[in-house]
Structure 1
């Protein structure tokens, strides 16, 4: 999946996207040796699971010795990518004149050596999946190198349960110093260690995401996936409102009938509010002894427009925008399993240098009386103190 970006349009004026390279169209393409992709990811996973940054250079004497034709050329290409990449999967498409005809595209399970092969790969992804992209940033990372960080979310429409596949990572794009066009595009996934083509680890990463999870066709809190590792996702949640009351334990149902009664009309105006998913149970302390049970209210609601609860034990509360690490699992979320998932997730976060807050949430998406356990979608969430994709 060599092409994996979407982005927001920048406000600065840019040359017309179809003519930005037109003054070089008559240049003779040099041999592919002008720009060889790096053999290793710029981020290598060490034996203790951490990732160490290493540097690499374009292996070509011309690139090493010749200064750029213009000191602003790479910066202009950065701006060009901000404009061009949103069209990766739409009818307009990307500007193929920005790429050498002999260009190397690689990710852990895909490779193409021509721009035509790359465009074929894009067309195939459009037909098999429903790609959605978020580009986090584009940066100059070398004299003839640009790096992008992205999130790609796809739904495999051919399977009845339409599984969601998530990939996050970086793309390192090499620039041919003779043509000032892209001559290589190498993707690195956050979820695997072996980035070489063909990576069996990469293939298994795809296969395991095809498993069945039943997510009800109900509204849920909006979020963006910032990063997906082998064991968890990092999500940025938009603000949402919950109705909550005291619970008994993380996996318990104590208090559910009380908050469900509120949305079914047991409130000051007898207003019925649509059901959403998931149902949260939240523990605010490390010992998970202080628990509340919560139902998320529709995004169109706000605290001023919601009817007042009939019971003092029911509260309406706005959850602010925040970033959470999330571990997803299936089966019946019994207490021992939930506690173990929370501990494992917290350990992974600390190992990766993140700062988890005390407490956690259990998200249950399914009605346990109507869903087979192997299809259940459950998640443990831990809010983070801070998070950066730099």
Structure 2
């Protein structure tokens, strides 16, 4: 006998049993013994015994398949529920954004930003045109953008994807980090001058140079212990504490709009009696929202680094 083989068992039949069998049309081959063949049996896991169970082998195989399919379906359903919950949680951060900025105009009142980590800063002063912020130091991942425009759709998409790959696992630790806001775009600074950036994606360009750079603000929990990028075009930098003047606007960003806003900000700062534009400062553009955000609810900023006027 083996576990999945057939087993012969014998049963003693009394004269009364024999008469009953004949009445039902059964004629035993031997008057005292009838041999029955049973199907496969399995060993008991709780008692250690091996009882003989009469189980149809075809039914057992079908039952096993059904049980397996049911188990897999249950596991898949549970996993799908978790994934849907995570997706819903992440989507809610963008669909139901928080409002972190005090509104000065109707345009700003309609703006919103996703409920994700952003730069740590405090407002030093505010008027109808701009506000002065003291921004704490932070780390960025930056890459040089192709082309001569910081807001060309093709070039911006390529640069964004390069940084996103680093953020989501293309690094030495293969670690997925959380997205932050904003994204900065800025023109390259002259040699020897440190580039300053803030929470959005920044694109910046200095006089006499045609290269733009895009940067992501890194999650603050890592500090200086960020995983190194595998892509050599991605660089990790620390941006020191600084003071900036910021002007906000909605809609989609273009070179012309950035130039117009920067010019307005510079002219307004000429009248400021406490702060002035730092020598050599170039504009940084911060974009806080994903592409699917409605234009009138988007928040964009043009920032210039400033310094206190010495009396």
Structure 1 residues 278 and 267, CA gap change in structure 2 (3 angstroms):
same
Structure 1 residues 210 and 342, CA gap change in structure 2 (3 angstroms):
closer
Pair 1:229-2:127 in alignment: yes
Partner of 2:255: 335
Partner of 1:135: none
User: 1:227 touches 1:235 (CA, 8 Å); kept in 2?
Assistant: yes
Structure 1 residues 320 and 342, CA gap change in structure 2 (3 angstroms):
same
User: 2:108 touches 2:248 (CA, 8 Å); kept in 1?
Assistant: no
Give the CA RMSD over aligned residues: 2.4
Partner of 1:346: 266
Instruction: Say which SS state the counterpart of residue 246 (structure 2) adopts.
Output: strand
Partner of 2:282: 359
In structure 1, list runs of 5 or more residues that go unmatched: 1-159, 167-204
Structure 2 CA distance, aligned partners of 1:235 and 1:389? 18
Larger Rg over CA atoms: 2
Structure 2 CA distance, aligned partners of 1:315 and 1:163? 29
Instruction: Say which SS state the counterpart of residue 348 (structure 1) adopts.
Output: helix
Q: Deviations over 1:136-157 (max 9, x none)?
A: xxxxxxxxxxxxxxxxxxxxxx
Partner of 1:251: 151
Partner of 1:371: 293
Instruction: Say which SS state the counterpart of residue 166 (structure 2) adopts.
Output: helix
User: Scaled by the length of structure 1, what TM-score is found?
Assistant: 0.45
State which of 271, 293, 308 in structure 1 corresponds to 2:214: 293
Structure 1 CA distance, aligned partners of 2:143 and 2:286? 16
Partner of 2:109: 211
Q: Deviations over 1:331-361 (max 9, x none)?
A: 0111211121112112222332513342111
Structure 1 residues 310 and 161, CA gap change in structure 2 (3 angstroms):
closer
Structure 1 CA distance, aligned partners of 2:173 and 2:101? 39
Which has the larger share of strand? 1
Structure 2 CA distance, aligned partners of 1:233 and 1:338? 17
Partner of 1:262: 166
Instruction: Say which SS state the counterpart of residue 255 (structure 1) adopts.
Output: helix
User: 2:98 touches 2:115 (CA, 8 Å); kept in 1?
Assistant: no
Q: Deviations over 1:229-279 (max 9, x none)?
A: 221110000001000000243324141111111001011111111000000
Pair 1:317-2:237 in alignment: yes
Q: Deviations over 1:187-226 (max 9, x none)?
A: xxxxxxxxxxxxxxxxxx5x63762112000100100000
Structure 2 CA distance, aligned partners of 1:377 and 1:247? 22
Structure 2 CA distance, aligned partners of 1:267 and 1:247? 20
User: Scaled by the length of structure 2, what TM-score is found?
Assistant: 0.56
Structure 1 residues 307 and 165, CA gap change in structure 2 (3 angstroms):
closer
Partner of 2:102: 165
Structure 1 CA distance, aligned partners of 2:161 and 2:210? 20
Aligned-pair CA distance for 1:292:
0.7
Structure 1 residues 295 and 266, CA gap change in structure 2 (3 angstroms):
same
In structure 2, list runs of 5 or more residues that go unmatched: 1-96, 190-205
Which has the larger share of helix? 2
Instruction: Say which SS state the counterpart of residue 245 (structure 1) adopts.
Output: strand
Instruction: Say which SS state the counterpart of residue 381 (structure 1) adopts.
Output: strand
Counterparts of residues 25-36 of structure 1 (less than 5 Å): none
Q: Deviations over 1:355-381 (max 9, x none)?
A: 33421111000011x200011000001
